[in-house]
């Protein structure tokens, strides 16, 4: 049986390769997927089940083009994995660059993600996040 951390790392690997079917296969049928962040971002809402995860991924694909996506630190406690990371890219609608820092909290049971929460800090255009030592 795969450890929770292994499952989460597989999810990130699928995401960065663009293997969205592989990504979704690692999610439980009744997954709770919640993104906390600015209400101006369509992706910041609660999604339920596999169809909700697919909707989230569609919103992401329609909204942003990523230049970088970097999970930086992983913390595991039995079935829970917390990941700190950052990403950069361009908003497809406006053409403005963005920088995000995030914390992802996964709960894994039976080799599937049963819940996900993202806590997102988002900066656009000339806004700059504070300096940070990872």
Is residue 118's pLDDT more than 80?
yes
pTM of the model: 0.92
3-state SS, residue 6: helix
Q: What is the pLDDT of residues 44-98, one digit of tens each?
A: 999 999 999 999 999 999 999 999 999 999 999 999 999 999 999 999 999 999 9
Which runs of consecutive H residues, i.e. helices, occur in the chain?
4-17, 20-25, 49-63
Q: Rounded to 10 degrees, what is the CA torsion of 74, 38, 69, 131? A: -80
Q: Residue holding tokens 């406690």?
A: 77
Q: pLDDT grade, residue 1 (50/70/90)?
A: low
Tell me how far apart the alpha carbons of residues 120 and 129 are, in angstroms, rounded to a whole number: 12
What CATH number does the domain located at 4-124 have? Answer: 3.10.450.50
Contact 65, 89 (CB under 8 A): yes
């Amino acid at each position: 049986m795969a450890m929770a951390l292994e499952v989460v790392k597989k999810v990130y690997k699928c995401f960065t390769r663009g293997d969205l079917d592989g990504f979704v296969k690692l999610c439980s049928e009744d997954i709770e997927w919640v993104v906390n962040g600015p209400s101006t971002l369509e992706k910041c809402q609660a999604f339920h089940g596999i169809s909700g995860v697919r909707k989230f991924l569609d919103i992401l694909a329609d909204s942003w083009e990523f230049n970088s996506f970097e999970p930086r630190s992983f913390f595991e406690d039995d079935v829970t994995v917390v990941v700190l990371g950052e990403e950069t890219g361009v908003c497809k609608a406006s053409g403005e660059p963005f920088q995000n820092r995030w914390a992802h909290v996964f709960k894994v049971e039976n080799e599937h993600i049963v819940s996900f929460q993202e806590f997102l800090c988002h900066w656009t255009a000339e806004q700059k996040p504070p300096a940070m030592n990872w």
